């Protein structure tokens, strides 16, 4: 905490999302000698997005391990190390590359505990930046959280703010299960308040990023900020939008989602990942199967990435995933439907 | 059996014993190797019997013919040393010293099984004895072994990780990634390839251009050695040396030539190989071969050998009687143990 000059009021310092992740890494590495970080270029290079910058100088090459470009063995060795008394954190430079490690994450690490009758714990974290917006094309821009949610045994975290990124990563490192931690590459430079004193953010606890009464948006990762901005603009039109960030998709705070929808009567789900098979479908289904269903005043709607590989050209790339316009249009459309007024004012773009 | 505490290998205990036989090995070690092989053989024969009668469901991959490798390797390992296994994992689990009752119960899908009935034939594990488990994914265990060796290094332990895999796994990408990383970091892993000549039905000649698989070690700047996988003493010696080597120098690739006498799995009708080929390998069966050598030892009378065989037979029979009698997991177990608290 620091004191504002003149007023004497204390406000939390602001740091970037990347700094928040780095602080979590540093604190957990210092707290527990069993923890180590390994990955491609995490050492002197400081990580592909600079997240681990300075850690090797501070903690030494014994704790921060540069590796060959070998995603499968990194994930599998993390599982093997986790079984045998250490607590690895693996950085994979782009989450698209996790498909190269998917057998080790989904078939090995995720299943070991159950498959071996509860005889083992597999405390590991795979950190990887996800998302589009960097002009890196179809194989460096995906949001694949739903893939990992489909492997029982994994926990899946998608932090949307520096505060959450730090608190959730510290929780992930202390968790005794394999955690897929999907950082948002476009948020790395975004800043936000992060206390200097230690804190943890628990798994399975959604956060109401903005309270509202007319409609619930469930969004995670980079989409949270976009939805908050949309909600602010919609407020000037007299629309009160609640933005709920589940923060962890596995475990999922079902209760928070259902009770928010029961309150507002309308649900819009926003995710950057492609629509088909996206985790939004799961949320829609669980609300449809809940006590909030009869309280719905409008259909459940999703705004998601189109079912295409992420394109390169800036205008195409920007429009491949949800935009503020699509989010606002969807909100207006749902409100019109809910009040049974004729649509037409909004020119809605579905999905 | 030599009495031992965790951390003591049979090899170490045997070395401490002054009395040496004609073969140059302590009696107790020879007996131990024979018992380990017999346990595996009898265990597998029981599985074969029960699976062909429908008492055990699912599929299974039997280790009959390959016993000398698991037995010769495991005699060098303590409970603190790690192994990773394959889909053909029964022999490794038995050799590593897990009680046969828990292994048999697992095969019958019982709650008392080593995995509570949730793993089955391809996932026998016993982490408390260093067995990090079998995997149904060919090549899936190699990275796990590297990770175990990484823990050994990080925690400053005097242990090794032995990674069992087959000739088929050698053509998986994980082989390359794992051996490369272990060699760069000089981790204490013994990569022990069981070349049983076939990946399901495809002979290694048709899957791999290099027939001497140990030559692949050169690509990683590590030693590559070969051993007759049908000779338990040869395996024992090779693994003893390799274990010492990897502790101080980093990984080593050891390729054991062997043969599975039975089919790849339950459904295999053996159409891809000839009776003559199978018979020629059966003539090298590691168990009668070692039995003859024991017979030549002064201290192993026929009576003593038969006593050992009878004892192991009774041990295996008791394990299977136990396994068939114990209870199945209940639905209360179904959702348990997906996550650790």
Write out the DSSP string of B95-131.
Answer: HTT--HHHHHHHHTT-TTSTTTTSS-GGG--BGGGTB
Q: Which of the four pLDDT bands, split at 50, 70 and 90, describes residue A2?
A: very low
Q: Is the pLDDT of residue B9 over 80?
A: no
HSE-CB at A268 with a 13 A cutoff on CA atoms is: 30
Instruction: Tell me which of 3.30.200.20, 3.40.50.970, 1.10.3470.10, 3.40.50.300 is the CATH number of domain A2-193.
Output: 3.40.50.970
Whether residue B133 contacts residue A116, with contact meaning beta carbons closer than 8 Å, is answered with: yes
Q: Measure Cα distances from B88 to A3, A81, B84, B121, B164 in Å.
A: 65, 23, 11, 8, 10
Helix (H, G, I), strand (E, B), or coil: what is residue B238?
helix
Whether residue B126 contacts residue B45, with contact meaning beta carbons closer than 8 Å, is answered with: no
Q: State phi, psi for B78 to the nearest 5 degrees.
A: -100, 175
What range defines the domain where residue B177 resides?
Answer: 23-326
Q: Report d(CA A284, CA A307) in Å as an integer.
A: 18
Nearest to B143 among A84, A104, A115 (CB): A104
Catalytic site includes residue A140: yes
Q: Report d(CA B138, CA B87) in Å as an integer.
A: 7
Domain residue spans of chain A:
2-193, 207-338
Specify the CATH number for the domain of residue B202. 3.40.50.970
Q: What is the mean pLDDT of residues B208-232?
A: 97
Percent of chain A with pLDDT over 70: 93
Q: Is the pLDDT of residue A344 over 50?
A: no
Contact A77 B144 (CB under 8 A): yes
Domain count, chain B: 1
Q: Report d(CA A128, CA B226) in Å as an integer.
A: 41
pLDDT digits (tens, 9 = 90+) for A113-153: 999 999 999 999 999 999 999 999 999 999 999 999 999 99
Output the pLDDT for position B18. Answer: 44
Nearest to B337 among A68, A107, A114 (CB): A114
Q: Is the pLDDT of residue B22 over 90?
A: no
* Diameter over CA atoms, chain A: 65
Contact A77 B180 (CB under 8 A): no
Output the pLDDT for position B44. Answer: 98
CB neighbours of B13 closer than 8 A, spacing ≥ 6? B2, B3, B4, B28
Asked if the ipTM is above 0.90, the reply is yes
All residues of chain B having their beta carbon less than 8 Å from the beta carbon of residue A86 are: 150-151, 154-155
Contact A80 B119 (CB under 8 A): no
Nearest to A118 among B143, B174, B337 (CB): B337
In angstroms, how far is the first alpha carbon of chain B from the final one? 39
Helix (H, G, I), strand (E, B), or coil: what is residue A197?
coil
Min Cα separation B191/chain A (Å): 14
Q: Is the pLDDT of residue B16 over 70?
A: no
Average pLDDT, chain A: 94
Count other Cβ atoms within 10 Å, centred on residue A191: 16
pLDDT digits (tens, 9 = 90+) for B192-209: 999 999 999 999 999 999
Q: Which of the four pLDDT bands, split at 50, 70 and 90, describes residue B5?
A: low
Q: Is the pLDDT of residue A47 over 70?
A: yes
Q: Is the pLDDT of residue A346 over 50?
A: no
Q: Tell whether B18 is covered by a domain.
A: no
3-state helix vs strand vs coil in chain B, percent to 5: 50, 10, 40
Output the pLDDT for position A73. Answer: 98
Min Cα separation A86/chain B (Å): 6
Nearest to B177 among A62, A73, A117 (CB): A73
Contact B84 A80 (CB under 8 A): yes
All residues of chain B having their beta carbon less than 8 Å from the beta carbon of residue A67 are: 181
- For tokens 């899936």, the residue is B140
Min Cα separation B89/chain A (Å): 13
Poorest-confidence range of A252-256, A334-338, B221-225, B307-311? A334-338
Output the pLDDT for position A11. Answer: 74
CB neighbours of B310 closer than 8 A, spacing ≥ 6? none
Average pLDDT, chain B: 94
Q: Report d(CA A268, CA A114) in Å as an integer.
A: 35
Q: Which of the four pLDDT bands, split at 50, 70 and 90, describes residue B117?
A: very high
pLDDT digits (tens, 9 = 90+) for A57-90: 999 999 999 999 999 999 999 999 999 999 999 9
Rg (CA), chain B: 19
Please give the helix or strand (H or E) that residue A71 lies within, else none: helix A71-83
pLDDT digits (tens, 9 = 90+) for A199-208: 999 999 999 9
> Token digits for A349?
């773009």
Min Cα separation B123/chain A (Å): 7
Q: What is the mean pLDDT of residues A249-254?
A: 98
Q: Which of the four pLDDT bands, split at 50, 70 and 90, describes residue A345?
A: very low
Q: Which of the four pLDDT bands, split at 50, 70 and 90, describes residue B223?
A: very high
pLDDT digits (tens, 9 = 90+) for A219-242: 999 999 999 999 999 999 999 999
Q: Which of the four pLDDT bands, split at 50, 70 and 90, describes residue B297?
A: confident
Q: Tell whether B336 is covered by a domain.
A: no
Whether residue B53 contacts residue B320, with contact meaning beta carbons closer than 8 Å, is answered with: no
Contact A80 B143 (CB under 8 A): yes
CATH number of this structure's domain A207-338: 3.40.50.920
pLDDT digits (tens, 9 = 90+) for B70-92: 999 999 999 999 999 999 999 99
* Diameter over CA atoms, chain B: 57
Output the pLDDT for position A342. Answer: 40
pLDDT digits (tens, 9 = 90+) for A282-294: 999 999 999 999 9
Q: Tell whether B6 is covered by a domain.
A: no
Residue of A nearest to B339 (CA): A153
Contact A72 B135 (CB under 8 A): no
């Amino acid at each position: 905490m620091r004191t504002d000059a003149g007023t004497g009021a204390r406000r939390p310092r602001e740091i970037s999302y990347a700094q928040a992740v780095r602080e979590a890494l540093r604190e957990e590495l210092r707290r527990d000698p069993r923890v180590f970080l390994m990955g491609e270029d995490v050492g002197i290079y400081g990580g592909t997005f600079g997240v681990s910058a300075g850690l090797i100088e501070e903690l030494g090459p014994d704790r921060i391990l540069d590796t060959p470009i070998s995603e499968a063995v990194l994930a599998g060795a993390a599982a093997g190390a986790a079984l045998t008394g250490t607590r690895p954190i693996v950085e994979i430079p782009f989450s698209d590359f996790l498909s190269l490690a998917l057998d080790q994450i989904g078939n090995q690490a995720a299943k070991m505990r159950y498959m071996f009758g509860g005889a083992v714990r597999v405390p590991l974290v795979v950190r990887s930046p996800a998302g589009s917006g960097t002009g890196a094309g179809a194989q460096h821009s995906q949001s694949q959280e739903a893939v990992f949610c489909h492997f029982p045994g994994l926990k899946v975290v998608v932090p949307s703010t520096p505060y959450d990124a730090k608190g959730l990563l510290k929780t992930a490192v202390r968790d005794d299960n394999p955690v897929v931690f999907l950082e948002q590459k476009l948020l790395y430079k975004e800043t936000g308040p992060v206390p200097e004193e230690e804190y943890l953010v628990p798994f399975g606890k959604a956060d109401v990023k903005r309270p509202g009464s007319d409609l619930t948006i469930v969004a995670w990762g980079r989409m949270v900020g976009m939805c908050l901005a949309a909600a602010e603009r919609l407020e000037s039109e007299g629309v009160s939008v609640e933005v709920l960030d589940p923060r962890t998709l596995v475990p999922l705070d079902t209760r928070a989602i259902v009770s928010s929808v029961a309150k507002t009567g309308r649900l819009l789900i926003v995710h950057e990942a492609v629509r088909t098979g996206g985790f939004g479908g799961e949320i829609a289904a669980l609300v449809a199967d809940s006590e909030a269903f009869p309280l719905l005043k409008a259909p459940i709607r999703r705004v998601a990435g189109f079912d295409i590989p992420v394109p390169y050209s800036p205008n195409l790339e920007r429009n491949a995933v949800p935009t503020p316009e699509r989010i606002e249009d969807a909100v207006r459309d749902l409100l019109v439907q809910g009040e049974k007024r004729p649509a037409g004012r909004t020119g809605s773009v579905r999905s | 059996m030599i009495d031992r505490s965790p951390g003591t290998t049979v090899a170490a205990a045997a070395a401490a014993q002054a009395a040496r036989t004609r073969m140059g090995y302590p009696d107790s070690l020879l007996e131990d190797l024979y018992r380990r092989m017999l346990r595996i053989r009898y265990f597998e024969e029981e599985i074969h019997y029960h699976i062909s009668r429908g008492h055990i469901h699912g599929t299974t991959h039997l280790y009959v013919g390959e016993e000398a490798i698991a037995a010769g390797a495991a005699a060098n390992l303590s409970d603190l040393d790690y192994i990773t296994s394959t889909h053909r994992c029964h022999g490794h689990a038995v050799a590593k010293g897990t009680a046969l009752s828990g292994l048999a119960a697992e095969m019958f899908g019982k709650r008392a099984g080593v995995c509570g009935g949730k793993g089955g034939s391809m996932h026998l594990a016993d982490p408390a004895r260093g067995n990090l488990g079998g995997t149904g994914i060919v090549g899936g265990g190699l990275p796990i072994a590297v990770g175990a060796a990484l823990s050994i290094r990080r925690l400053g332990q005097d242990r090794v990780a032995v990674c069992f895999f087959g000739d088929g796994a050698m053509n998986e990408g994980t082989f390359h990634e794992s051996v490369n990383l272990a060699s760069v970091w000089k981790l204490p892993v013994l990569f022990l390839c069981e070349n049983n000549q076939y990946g399901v039905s495809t002979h290694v000649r048709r899957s791999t251009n290099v027939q001497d698989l140990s030559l692949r070690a050169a690509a990683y700047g590590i030693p590559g050695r070969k051993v007759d996988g049908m000779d338990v003493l040869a395996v024992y010696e090779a693994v003893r040396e390799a274990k010492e080597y990897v502790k101080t120098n980093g990984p080593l690739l050891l390729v054991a030539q062997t043969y599975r006498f039975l089919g790849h799995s339950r459904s295999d009708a053996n159409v891809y190989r000839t009776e003559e080929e199978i018979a020629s390998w059966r003539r090298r069966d590691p168990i009668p071969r070692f039995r003859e050598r024991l017979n030549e030892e002064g201290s192993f009378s026929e009576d003593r050998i038969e006593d050992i065989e009878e004892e192991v037979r009774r041990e295996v029979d008791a394990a299977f009687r136990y396994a068939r009698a114990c209870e199945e997991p209940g639905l209360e177990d179904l959702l348990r143990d997906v996550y650790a608290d």
